[in-house]
Amino acid sequence: MKDSSLRFALFGLGKFGKNYARLIPEISGASLPVIVATSSDDPNLAFQNPDIDAVIIATPPTTHFALAKTALENGKHVLMEKPMVLKISEARELVKLVKKTGLTFMVGSQYLFNESILRVKGKLAGKIDLMKSEHRQSPPREDFDVLWDAAPHPLSIHNFLFSSTRIKSASGRGQKNSAGLLESVEAVVEFDRGPKLEIITSWPGEQKVRKISWSGENLEIELDETEKKPVGAEPLRNQLECFIDCVRNKKEPFNNVSHGLLITDWLQKISSSLSSTKSGSRASS
């Protein structure tokens, strides 16, 4: 950076892109001189611009790998929304590129910057038997399924809270929509460390559900996002400020590219463990 200000280029102005565009001007020492809002906009406004220090990628996941690869090859730090990529081979290539370039790379995982999660971490003493994540009613995607849409959050949280590194077993079932994409999933995952994780997620739903809970010996904790009881600063702002600090001070974020590789590997393993049916069908495949 030529001065203390970190200059961003933002790819995408969807749900999260709009929030990044709102937050960056509010943060001291950060600016947003370039926005690549649509696929018809010229990406070289960011990649080949020497005044751009970092890019935020908030586009559909099918575009993530190519954008991140080009950004790294052009010397830009990268903050990219989840899921990092949709193929384990792409995740491994990004790991190699980040190691080669020495640039800061963060996978967006705003729950890790939610102060409620940090408070939970301090309360998880004793034996925890179960972590449960329920995520119902959200807009369906056309480029990837509901597991890859919602499950990165509880998987990242499990890794953060319990230092889990390996899936021991996974099983469950899912239902596919008319486009052949999983629209609902129920899965149970056991790890080398920490409690088993139950994932319940679906695009359809009678009402919006966003719950994460932990249970064990004399312990029952539940976080319900729909209750709208904010604790501390906005998680996305916390994440942005952490990313800026990591770039400036050459720190390694927890949710780095290796974390992204781990979550990609876990999503792939869980996906391959599921039995599935099509909507309206009784036969499993």
The reply to whether 1 falls in a domain is no
Q: Is residue 174 domain-shared with residue 204, that is, in the same domain?
A: yes
- Per the model's pLDDT, the better-predicted residue between 73 and 4 turns out to be 73
Q: Kindly report the CATH number assigned to the domain that includes residue 204.
A: 3.30.360.10
DSSP the chain: --SSPEEEEEE--SHHHHHHHHHGGGSTTEEEEEEE-STTS-THHHHT-TT--EEEE-S-GGGHHHHHHHHHHTT-EEEEPSS--S-HHHHHHHHHHHHHH---EEE--GGGG-HHHHHHHHH--S-EEEEEEEEE--PPPSSS-HHHHHTHHHHHHHHHHH----EEEEEEEEEE-TTS-EEEEEEEEEESSS-EEEEEEES--SS-EEEEEEEETTEEEEEEGGG----SS-HHHHHHHHHHHHHHHTPPPTTSHHHHHHHHHHHHHHHHHEEEEETT-----
Regarding whether 179 and 87 lie in a shared domain, the answer is: no
So what's the pLDDT on residue 227? 82
Spatial separation of the C-alpha atoms in residues 150 and 202, rounded to whole Å: 9
Give yes or no: residues 119 and 227 share one domain: yes
Q: Report the number of distinct structural domains present in the chain.
A: 2
Domain assignment present for residue 244? The answer is yes
Q: Looking at the structure, do residues 118 and 227 belong to the same domain, yes or no? A: yes
204 and 130 share a domain? yes
If asked whether residues 196 and 252 sit together in one domain, one would say no
In a domain, 91, yes or no: yes
Q: What percent of the chain has pLDDT over 70?
A: 95
pLDDT at 285 over 70: no
**Residue 62 included in any domain:** yes
| Res 103 pLDDT > 50 | yes
Q: 145 and 49 in one domain?
A: no
pLDDT band at 98 (very low <50, low <70, confident <90, very high): very high
Q: List pLDDT tens digits, range 39-61.
A: 889 999 999 999 999 999 999 99
251 occurs within a structural domain? yes
283 pLDDT higher than 50: no
* Mean pLDDT computed over every residue of the chain: 93
| Nearest-angstrom CA–CA distance, 173 and 188 | 10
233 pLDDT more than 90: no
261 lies in some domain:
no
In a domain, 162, yes or no: yes
**152 and 18 co-located in one domain:** no
Query: What does the pLDDT read at residue 113?
Result: 95
Q: Which amino acid is present at 55? A: V
Query: Domain of 133?
Result: 111-232+266-278
The verdict on 190 and 249 lying in the same domain is no
Could you tell me the pLDDT band of residue 230, with boundaries at 50, 70 and 90? Answer: low
18: domain CATH number?
A: 3.40.50.720
Does 197 share its domain with 215? yes
Identity of the residue numbered 110: Q
Amino acid in the structure at residue 5: S
Is residue 210 domain-resident?
yes
Same domain, residue pair 119 and 209: yes
C-alpha pair distances (Å), 41 with each of 10, 54, 71, 129, 227: 12, 18, 16, 49, 39
Gap between the Cα atoms of 193 and 158, Å rounded: 9
Q: Please give the pLDDT value at position 153.
A: 97
67 in the same domain as 184: no
Question: Strands 6-11, 30-36: parallel, antiparallel or unpaired by DSSP?
Answer: parallel
